[in-house]
Structure 1
Amino acid sequence: MTRLPYLDRAVVPEAKIINYLLSVSHSSGRAKARFLKGFGFRDQDWLTLREAIVAHARTNDITASHRTHFGTRYEIDGPLPTPAGRTPIVRVVWFVEAQENVPRLVTLIPRRIGTDDQ
Structure 2
Amino acid sequence: MSHPLHDVLRRWKAAFDGHQPDAMADLFTPDALFQGFGPAVLTGREAVRGYYEAVPPDRRAEVTVLHTCTIGEQAAGGFVDVTFGDAHDWEAHVHLSLVLQLDDAGWRIRQYHVSRVEAEH
TM-score (norm 2): 0.48
Judging by fraction of residues, say which structure has more helix.
1
- TM-score scaled to structure 1, two decimals? 0.49
Q: Which structure shows the higher strand fraction?
A: 2
